[in-house]
Amino acid sequence: GHTVVYDLDDSTIAGLHISSGATLKFEPSQSALLQSSKNIVVEGLLEMKPADQKVVHYIRFININESAVVGLGHMVLDTDIGLWVINSGRLNLVGSPKKSWTNLLGSASAGSNSITLKETPANWAAGDELVVCPTSGIDGLGRTGTIPLFERFTIKEVSGSTVNLSGALVYVQPAGSDKQWTAEVLNLERNVKIEGTVGGKAHIFVKSAVPQTLKFVGLRHMGPKRENIGRYGIHFHHCMN
């Protein structure tokens, strides 16, 4: 029945149960990381709503043994570590608004350390992670690769619609003759994050009778053992209306 405000820079727990009528609320004005080696089960309310984009709210599941994941069914299992929202549980996860993706203004050359976008990207900032999607498999030496790569960078600086990158493009990104079809550029940075780890993927499972709110949330290292049904990165299961 209580509201608990979480305002620690970093702490590690061995699981958490937010019971019906209770709230765990991340302090809106302060960045906070909560790591858990066991399940977080929500029957009350979990709220992560940073006051501005400089504040980061972060849940990371650690020490997961993916080979122990059982999968299937909708009962909370100690082996299947992740974020479980059950019965009347509710997520209110709202990150700061950010332009999720846009396109290049035209073509881009291999070796370039900057790109120009079709628009000024809202709330893109230095340190954000970008992905430039491929429009060809041709590298800077004119060699054609068999599989075009999605190129990842961090932003060094944003000036209007020009973005300076942490590295140089490896591939040529041609545009159509009318410049209508150009490479997509994705911004993966969010200031509300739910994650596993590289070697231990977590999951979110929602089987709740109330609506959920997720906006501008980053999910990473989620969805353990793909051959196991029902442990997707995020799974809304039998939520009725």
**pLDDT of 194 higher than 70:** yes
Contact 219, 195 (CB under 8 A): yes
The C-alpha atoms of residue 90 and residue 43 are separated, in whole angstroms, by 7
pLDDT of 226: 66
What is the reported pLDDT for 20?
97
* Nearest-angstrom CA–CA distance, 97 and 86: 27
> For position 177, what pLDDT does the model report?
66
Q: Which residues, at least 6 apart from 67, have a Cβ–Cβ distance to it below 8 Å?
A: 225
Phi, psi of 66 (to 5 degrees): -65, -30
**From CA 134, how far away is CA 72, in angstroms rounded?**
36
Q: What's the rounded Cα separation, in Å, for the pair 162 and 229?
A: 43
What does the DSSP 8-state code read for residue 97? Answer: P
Q: Stretch 144-158: mean pLDDT, rounded?
A: 82
Q: Given a cut of 70, is residue 92 above it in pLDDT?
A: yes
Rounded CA separation 186/154 (Å): 11
pLDDT at 227 over 80: no
Distance (Å, whole) CA 59 – CA 134: 31
pLDDT, position 137: 60
DSSP label at 67?
G
Determine how many CB atoms are found less than 10 A away from the CB of residue 236: 13
Q: Are 190 and 216 in contact (CB under 8 A)?
A: yes
Give dist(CA 183, CA 185) in Å, integer: 6
Q: Tens of pLDDT along 40-63?
A: 999 999 999 999 999 999 999 999
Q: What are phi and psi of 162, to 5 degrees?
A: -100, 130
* Better pLDDT: 136 or 209: 209
